[in-house]
Amino acid sequence: MSRNELISPEGLRLDGRRANELRRHTAKLGPLSQADGSAFLQHGHTKALAAVYGPREPRHRAHAMHDRAYLNIEFNIAPFATGERKKRNKSDKRLLEMAHFVKQTFEPVIMTRLYPRSQIDLYIQILQDDGGALHAAINASTLALIHAGIPMKDYVCAVSVCCYKDASLLDLNRMEENTEHADLTVAVLPKSGDISLLQMESRLHADKLSDLMDLSIAGCRQIWKTLDGVVRENGEEEQQKASEVSMVLEK
Amino acid sequence: MLRSKAFVHRNKKGNVVKVVKEHYLRDDISCSSKACTTCTHLTPPILASDPPTYPNTAFPKPHYLIPDTNVFLHQMDLLEKPFLTNIIVLQVVLEEVKHRSAAMAARLKVLMDDADRHFCLFSNEHHRDTYVERLPEESPNDRNDRAIRVATKWYTEHLTPAGIQVIMLSNDTENRLRANASHIPSTSVLEYVQGLPDHPELLDVIVHDTDGDLEGTGEAPKFSYPHHISPLAISSGVKSGNLLQGTLNISQHNYLEGSIYTKIQGIEQSVLILGRTHLNRATQGDVVAVQLLPKEEWRTTPTSVVEEEDEEGKSPREAKRRKTLSPDEEMKDVSSHEEAVKSPPQPTAKVVGIVRRQWRHYCGFIDRRTVKLDQTMSYQNVLFFAMDRRLPKIRLRTRQAGLLLGQRIVVTIDSWAETSKYPMGHFVRALGAVGDKDTETEVLLLEHDCPHGEFSRKVLACLPEEGENWVVQDAHLAQGRRDLRDLPICSIDPPGCTDIDDALHVQTLPNGNYQVGVHIADVTHFVRPGTPMDVEAASRGTTVYLVNKRIDMLPSLLGTNLCSLRSNVERLAFSCLWEMTPDAQIVGVEFTKSVIASKASLTYEEAQLRIDDPSKEDAVTKGIRVLNILAKKLRARRMERGALTLASPEVRFALENDSQDPVDVEMKEMKETNALVEEFMLLANISVAEKIFSRFPEASMLRYVVFFSEKDAGYAHVKLTHLLLPPIFRRHPSTRALVSFISFISTSTGSCESFSRANLTSGLAKVRAPRSIRRARSFLARILSTRIPLVTASSLELVERDEGN
């Protein structure tokens, strides 16, 4: 009966989910009017906002690459995102690291070769952090990139998993993340099942990995459904708007 | 459905933080009753479909019970009685129990794990229909009570079609009134138990509300203790240094005389707390907050106060109790009193608050004088003497006082009101007649907190399925075990030994050297880490040998059969094999899992006879002779290097044949063969230690670092954190005590030299250390009496060898 018992004898987690359940997640395309593409995504209480600018001319000449576009990613966590206010410096190592993870995830997926000598900017802001900031950021980025019309091989869907005793937990909230159990963030291309990010900062027994991977891929597929639904809905809306406009024009 | 829980709390640093948590409400939580057909049961339901109907006059229909938090906190002894089954533990209740008392939560967990008791957990907080939002102006407690009522109501409505009643069990009158108002069946514990005419003894187990109880009897004199201050005041007081905190230790001779060991202005010293008022209801082992008295009131030694209190004229009963001290002791008291006058006064304090109670179950007996024999079957207040003399008398309310006279009983303390001179307790169970052998054994085991129950079904389920018929199979050899069944292995143990855990062999190699092997029973094959059996064995720690019985650490199937290297049976073992020159120099060593078949299990005496009998020429006998010669050489070399020998004589009880009563105690004789076995076990430990050190120097090995400089004279710091012990022992208090003890020895003797030399033995006897160190010494003695010392002793040797290099 230790204090950090993550799962009750009945099989419920601290917030009432079962081990293999995601938090409630919703998303919205185009919250920002100025950006070329933007998305807002909510994963339980974790809220992420992503904005995409470009492809456009590189800001520094050094970034111009003759064969592909340069991907510039900034990751930031708002000071009010956690219970305790904490102002983060832009050069915060943790933030740079997160940005790097996102970059690693998207570099092979975005068709950067279509835009040589240009730059794509992706700004990610975590407005509230209740665990899983990285995977929320990746999911929001996918939507924002789609919204900007940047060609990608596939959606990138990410989720975190954790191994707790004999159970594998999906989509950790802050309380679960703060325990000493190994947690793993996985980003998957749902159609091919390719894994584009696998990130963990603790040790895990190799035997447990396959279970965790199965669970996380299943979780990513679920997220994909949501994201895909949002994109299609948005597409229909846009289409409707366009047809309304054309009708008005015809008149 | 989603609800957010938002609340503000203060974190460790003292900052105020707002926490927002998600809270999902579900519709798929089952009621866990076998009688229910509407729920989808994701896990097998726990509650029986036909809860046994005891002849309960109050509730004749089949029913489940939903107790509230206070019932779990205060009536645990009652709930542990096996007749109460089919109880629904609400999540809100469980969380509150966990929050309020870890001990009760642990006991509750045991009950919930017991499949026979049908205790089920219902996550009412996550159930869509039973979740309640806290109303404005409603206290958390009221909200929880309401949650219990709502859950009971839900259960009642849910299970009425199945014909099962659900009753809320609460001693809170207001809660019950509100329940009645909304037609929720409820009852008090007393009412419920009174409805069970077959179990009158249970009434004594119920904890009574103590308030107002005493005035009614008129027995208590006008007596009042000072108030205890609030926990908040304690923590701020301790922080500011106005108060001191420590664990109260009561004198063995006088329960009104205690002390705590704490730091006063950075210096560790003992603080006296004397007399009933100053002790202020604190009992042995409690963590207390004390306030130092002004210097004028400081006392010299405790004994002077004892007499003063006598002069004050306490009740004759107490005086009588004090007279139970032997005349010798009284003489000593007086003489030490005279001495004490000269010694400077010691810090003296009074208890102002109690941080944590250490109340447990106490064994003892009822004071005959307090029992009114003419009214045996009605309630009466009696006083109880605990076997542990450091405790005050405990007041009990019982109906069976007459029956309990002359019996050893178990009692626990419930409360100690300010106006009550003695704490109020309740009867838990009777053990048996005073003076009866089994009863007194039970008392000893209970008082020393020695787990001695039967192994639970869960533990027994970990045993191999074949049971007694388990045999070594080829599959075992295929797992990389070496086949050593042909070797002339034998075991040498005390007579009557059934748990043979080690065996030896020796064999001449073609090159003239010897192959010597030590084989230890491979218990790990049967006891896998983390299984209930492993956990149980770890909590028992060791097999306890009593005069006429033993309390096993592992179920006897393993201990005395499958993990006992008996002769002429094939057993799994862990072997350590050396190649040794005839001069007992080790040429090579290897470790392997193996299968062995011991050729003979000998007693020390038999082995000795075989050595001495020149007509015996079989392989085993020859082997023992060789081993004996090698052991002598090893021993001589070890002694030369200054090994540490701690004589811990083993005793044996001679039992009378029929009654199994002990009639005599005899010291076990040390024979040459004892030393033989000891020597090779030691050698095995040394080799294992070296191996582990070479492979896992970070995690496992004794790291011996001595920082010794002339500047801080006599300061030697011994870092013994990496004792060669399994992690479980590293965490064990005795190990920590050992570490602090050894570092103490080295600081007090002033050099590391003396620590590793044999005069540690004399050091052990001489050291007059502060209390914590004295405790460490007894721990050390205890460690040394088991198998662990071999490891420590060998590591000491290794240290020496390291120094030599």
* Percent of residues, chain A, with pLDDT higher than 70: 98
Please determine, for residue B614, whether its predicted confidence score (pLDDT) is greater than 70.
yes
C-beta atoms of A130 and B20 within 8 A: yes
- Give domain status of residue B212, yes or no: no
Burial of B563 (0-12, 13-18, 19+ CB in 10 A): buried
Distance CA B800, CA B796 (A): 7
Burial of B548 (0-12, 13-18, 19+ CB in 10 A): middle
Does one domain contain both B485 and B503? yes
- Give domain status of residue B174, yes or no: yes
Summarize the confidence of residues A12-26 as an average pLDDT.
89
Does one domain contain both B378 and B342? no
pLDDT band, residue B657 (cuts 50/70/90):
low
User: Exposure pattern of B243-256 as b/e (b: 16+ CB <10 Å)?
Assistant: bbbbbbbbbebbbb
Q: Where do the structural domains in chain A lie, given as residue ranges? A: 25-250
Dihedral sign of CA atoms A192, A161, A171, A152 in order: negative
Does one domain contain both B721 and B746? yes
Does one domain contain both B31 and B52? yes
Q: Which of B171, B205, B239 is the last residue of a domain?
A: B205
Does one domain contain both B349 and B364? no
C-beta atoms of A8 and B105 within 8 A: no
Please determine, for residue B802, whether its predicted confidence score (pLDDT) is greater than 70.
no
Does one domain contain both B30 and B153? yes
- B560 contacts: CB under 8 Å, gap ≥ 6: B498, B499
Summarize the confidence of residues A73-91 as an average pLDDT.
88
Q: Which of B421, B447, B473 is the last residue of a domain?
A: B447
Please determine, for residue B712, whether its predicted confidence score (pLDDT) is greater than 60.
no
Greater model confidence, B618 or B787: B618
Please determine, for residue B317, whether its predicted confidence score (pLDDT) is greater than 60.
no
By C-alpha distance, the chain A residue nearest B7 is A83
Average predicted confidence (pLDDT) for chain B: 74
Q: What is the pLDDT of residue A250?
A: 85
Greater model confidence, A242 or B659: A242
- Give domain status of residue B539, yes or no: no
Does one domain contain both B584 and B671? yes
Greater model confidence, A41 or B336: A41
B153-157, B178-182, B242-246, B636-640: the lowest-pLDDT one: B636-640
Q: What is the pLDDT of residue B4?
A: 57
Please list the residues that pair with B665 across neighbouring strands: B653
pLDDT band, residue B214 (cuts 50/70/90):
very low
Please determine, for residue B338, whether its predicted confidence score (pLDDT) is greater than 60.
no
Distance CA A102, CA A189 (A): 14
Residues of B in contact with A84 (CB under 8 A): 11, 15, 17
Residue-level length of chain A: 251
Q: What is the pLDDT of residue B284?
A: 87
B3-17, B495-509, B622-636: the lowest-pLDDT one: B3-17
Please determine, for residue A41, whether its predicted confidence score (pLDDT) is greater than 90.
yes
A15 in reach of chain B (CB within 8 A): yes
Q: What is the pLDDT of residue A104?
A: 94
- Give domain status of residue B19, yes or no: no
C-beta atoms of A83 and B22 within 8 A: no
Does one domain contain both B421 and B501? no
**Selection from A175, A189, A88 nearest residue A138 by Cα:** A189
Query: Kindly report the CA angle at B470 between B469 and B472, in degrees rounded to 5?
Result: 135
Residue A55 preceded by cis peptide, ω within 30: yes
Please list the residues that pair with B8 across neighbouring strands: B18
* Domain carrying residue B751: 696-804
- Interface probe for A, chosen from B22, B30, B125 (most Cβ of A below 10 Å), is B22
Q: Give whichever of A156-160, B43-47, B174-178, B624-628 has the largest mean pLDDT.
A: A156-160
Closest residue to A15, CB basis, from B23, B91, B102:
B23
Distance CA B333, CA B303 (A): 6
Summarize the confidence of residues B148-177 as an average pLDDT.
88
- B164 contacts: CB under 8 Å, gap ≥ 6: B33, B35, B51, B61, B62, B63, B64
Find where tokens 């835009």 sit.
Answer: A115
Closest residue to A12, CB basis, from B22, B106, B126:
B126
Say if residues B593 and B482 touch (Cβ distance below 8 Å): yes
Closest residue to B24, CB basis, from A9, A15, A130:
A15
- For helices B604-612 and B672-695, the axis angle rounded to 10 degrees is 110
Q: How many CB atoms lie within 10 A of CB B461?
A: 12
Q: Which of residues 193-232 of A touch B (CB under 8 A)?
A: none
C-beta atoms of A83 and B102 within 8 A: no
- A131 contacts: CB under 8 Å, gap ≥ 6: A44, A46, A160, A172, A173, A174, A175, A176, A177
Residues of A in contact with B26 (CB under 8 A): 12, 16
Summarize the confidence of residues B456-478 as an average pLDDT.
83
Distance CA A211, CA B195 (A): 53
Does one domain contain both B413 and B492? no
Burial of B576 (0-12, 13-18, 19+ CB in 10 A): buried
* Percent of residues, chain A, with pLDDT higher than 90: 69
Rg over alpha carbons for chain A, rounded to the nearest Å, is 19
Q: Give residue-wise pLDDT tens across range B109-158.
A: 888 888 888 888 888 888 888 888 888 888 888 899 999 999 999 998 88
Please list the residues that pair with B637 across neighbouring strands: none
Please determine, for residue B783, whether its predicted confidence score (pLDDT) is greater than 50.
no
Does one domain contain both B616 and B647? yes
Q: What is the pLDDT of residue B2?
A: 55
Distance CA B90, CA B155 (A): 11
C-beta atoms of A8 and B91 within 8 A: yes
A89-103, A222-236, B75-89, B203-217: the lowest-pLDDT one: B203-217
Q: What is the pLDDT of residue B247?
A: 87
- Give domain status of residue B267, yes or no: yes
- B802 contacts: CB under 8 Å, gap ≥ 6: B704
Summarize the confidence of residues B92-108 as an average pLDDT.
86
Residues of A in contact with B43 (CB under 8 A): 10-11
Q: Give residue-wise pLDDT tens across range B6-23.
A: 555 555 566 777 778 888
Q: What is the pLDDT of residue A184?
A: 92
Distance CA A148, CA A29 (A): 10
A231-235, B60-64, B594-598, B800-804: the lowest-pLDDT one: B800-804
Residues of A in contact with B11 (CB under 8 A): 84
Does one domain contain both B41 and B190? yes
**Helix or strand or coil: residue B349?**
strand
- Give domain status of residue B551, yes or no: no
Where are the extended beta strands (E) located within B45-155? Answer: 63-67, 87-90, 119-122
- Interface probe for A, chosen from B24, B33, B129 (most Cβ of A below 10 Å), is B24
Counting the structural domains of chain B, the total is: 5
The nearest CA of chain A is from the CA of B13 a distance in Å of: 11
C-beta atoms of B43 and A12 within 8 A: no
- Give domain status of residue B216, yes or no: no
By C-alpha distance, the chain B residue nearest A165 is B530
Does one domain contain both B237 and B199? no
Phi-psi region of B587 (alpha: psi -120 to 50; beta: other; left: phi over 0): alpha
Residues of B in contact with A11 (CB under 8 A): 42-43
A147 in reach of chain B (CB within 8 A): no
A25-250 maps to which CATH number?
Answer: 3.30.230.70
Q: What is the pLDDT of residue B764?
A: 42
A152-161, B452-461, B513-522: the lowest-pLDDT one: B452-461
Average predicted confidence (pLDDT) for chain A: 91
Q: Give whichever of A45-49, B101-105, B365-369 has the largest mean pLDDT.
A: A45-49
User: Exposure pattern of A128-159 as b/e (b: 16+ CB <10 Å)?
Assistant: bbbbbbbbbbbbbbbbbbbbbebeeebbbbbb
Closest residue to A84, CB basis, from B15, B106, B125:
B15
Q: Which of B356, B387, B418 is the last residue of a domain?
A: B356
- Give domain status of residue B569, yes or no: yes
As a three-state string, the secondary structure of B435-461 is: CCHHHHHHHHHHHCCCCCCCCCHHHHC
